[in-house]
């Protein structure tokens, strides 16, 4: 069994081929030359960070299937400075168009030591921003972005840092390493 931990850059598709009719976009094939592995879950084009790939269908299902409620931790740079009421709303769960979310673990954090994003996040002198660490146990489409927007603080940059027991620690952007299935 193979398990790959990949630090996906911004703007890279979570698939090995680009089937769109528009201009070509970078895919996993530009970074991972390992036949037979497939992503366990997705990470949006405009999100960065940890993506797991495996050749084991059971492990892929355990990681990606919402019924297993695998915790996923994100670092989110948000517009504005959420007050305690906004953080508490995220902790209770927020109502989205597709229904309420499960409660999230959330806390404000200092600016994390991350690689620079290309392109950089837009900077506006008149609008402050801050970083949150959020852990969710679902995996809806663009869920963290929709949750922060629902409490009035749109996400500017989103980095998935952890899935279950696997983290980005020591994996530079655009690189990967192989890991044991339980670590």
In terms of average pLDDT, the best of 116-120, 123-127, 164-168 is: 164-168
- pLDDT tops 80 at residue 181: no
- In the chain, residues under CATH classification 3.30.70.580 are 1-66+165-183
Maximum mean pLDDT: which of 53-67, 111-125, 126-140, 144-158: 144-158
Q: Binning pLDDT at 50, 70 and 90, where does residue 145 land? A: very high
Q: What is the CATH number of domain 1-66+165-183?
A: 3.30.70.580
Q: How confident is the model at residue 26 (pLDDT cuts 50, 70, 90)?
A: very high
Share of the chain above pLDDT 90, in %: 77
CB 50 within 8 A of CB 165: no
Strands 48-54 and 155-163: parallel
**With respect to CATH, is domain 71-163 assigned 3.30.70.1560?**
yes
Question: What distance in Å separates the CA atoms of residue 5 and residue 3, rounded to the nearest whole number?
Answer: 7
**Is pLDDT at 89 greater than 80 in this prediction?**
yes
Element (H, E) at 160: strand 155-163
**Three-state DSSP class for 10?**
coil
User: Which ranges of the chain does DSSP label H, i.e. alpha helix?
Assistant: 57-64, 84-92, 143-150
Determine the pLDDT at residue 139: 79
For the ranges 17-26, 92-101, 124-133, the one whose mean pLDDT is highest: 92-101
From the list 44, 65, 118, 129, the catalytic residue is 44
Paired strand residues for 176: 6
Domain with CATH 3.30.70.1560 in the chain: 71-163
pTM of the model: 0.93
Question: What pLDDT was estimated at residue 66?
Answer: 75
The verdict on whether 55 is a catalytic residue reads no
Task: Report how far residue 171's alpha carbon sits from residue 167's, in angstroms, rounded to the nearest whole number.
Answer: 9
Residue ranges with strand state E in 11-128: 38-39, 48-54, 72-79, 95-96, 99-100, 105-109
Q: What is the pLDDT averaged over residues 33-49?
A: 93
Residue 109 has a pLDDT of 97
Q: Does 119 sit behind a cis peptide bond, omega within 30 degrees of 0 on the bond before it?
A: yes
Percent of the chain at pLDDT exceeding 70: 98
The separation between the first and the last C-alpha atoms of the chain, rounded to the nearest angstrom, is: 13
Binned at pLDDT 50, 70 and 90, residue 64 comes out as confident
User: How many residues are listed for the chain in this entry?
Assistant: 183
- How far apart (Å, rounded) are the C-alpha atoms in residues 111 and 152? 20
């Amino acid at each position: 069994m193979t398990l790959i931990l990949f630090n996906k850059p911004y703007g890279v598709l979570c698939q090995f081929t680009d089937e769109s009719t528009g201009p070509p976009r970078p895919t996993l094939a530009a970074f991972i030359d390992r036949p037979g592995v497939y992503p366990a879950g997705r990470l949006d084009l405009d999100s960065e960070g940890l993506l797991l790939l495996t050749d084991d269908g059971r492990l892929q299902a355990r990681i990606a299937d919402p019924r297993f409620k695998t915790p996923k931790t994100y670092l989110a740079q948000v517009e504005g400075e959420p007050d305690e009421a906004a953080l508490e709303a995220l902790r209770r769960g927020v109502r989205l168009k597709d229904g309420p979310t499960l409660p999230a673990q959330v806390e404000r954090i200092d600016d994390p030591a991350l690689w620079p994003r290309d392109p950089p996040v837009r900077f506006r002198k008149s609008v402050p921003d801050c970083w949150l660490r959020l852990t969710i146990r679902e995996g809806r489409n663009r869920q963290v972005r929709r949750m922060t927007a629902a409490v009035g603080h749109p996400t500017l940059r989103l980095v998935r840092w952890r899935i279950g027991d696997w983290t980005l620690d020591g994996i530079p952007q655009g690189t990967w390493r192989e890991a044991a299935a339980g670590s």
